Amino acid sequence: MKNVLRHLRSLIAPAIMGFLLPISIVWSERQSSDRLWLNFPTGLNIAGFVISVIGLVLLILTVRMFIQIGKGTIMPWDPTRKLIIVGIYRHVRNPMILGVLLLQVGQAILFASSGIAWLAVGFFVVNTFYFTFSEEPGLEKRFGQEYIEYKRNVPRWIPRLKPWQPG
């Protein structure tokens, strides 16, 4: 039970950034206008929905990998004990953050929300600074040469098409 609570607590940040803030923004935008809650489906709405689903699936898969492979959580105060360099992590270094970002971008398109679009921009900028100046130096200290080689071969945000093969 303690382990379940540990992992549930670690999901608070993605839930806030991926769902609670976007819902609050859309609700606020709709209160100040006469627009419908959901627009009728168009190609753009469908694209937004598909992008959101891809982001959500990516988020779920990476959280699962953190638990099963990394033996830790997604939060910096309870980090993984093992470097994860399998699956999607062979294509991109931060697939969980990319998943939340895609979820936000998809919601911005789906709901035609400039507020969520700005949230996505801010989320990207803050995470770029955080990973550059805090997360990655910490991972270099924890995992040493293994992480340095990984970082050298796998991009931070834009996935490589061919998976990286270590060694």
Residue 2 in this model has a pLDDT that exceeds 70: no
String of DSSP letters for 84-101: --SGGGGT-S-HHHHHHH
Residue 33 in this model has a pLDDT that exceeds 90: no
Distance (Å, whole) CA 77 – CA 133: 17
Per-residue pLDDT, averaged over 27-51, amounts to 76
Per-residue pLDDT at 114:
92
**What's the whole-number average pLDDT of the chain?**
88
Lowest mean pLDDT among 6-15, 58-67, 89-98, 154-163: 6-15
Residue 56 in this model has a pLDDT that exceeds 90: yes
Per-residue pLDDT at 78:
76
Per-residue pLDDT at 88:
96
For the record, the structure tokens of 78 come out as 């309870």
All structural domains of the chain with their residue ranges: 40-153
Nearest residue to 120 (alpha-carbon basis) of 105, 138, 98, 142:
105
Predicted model pTM: 0.88
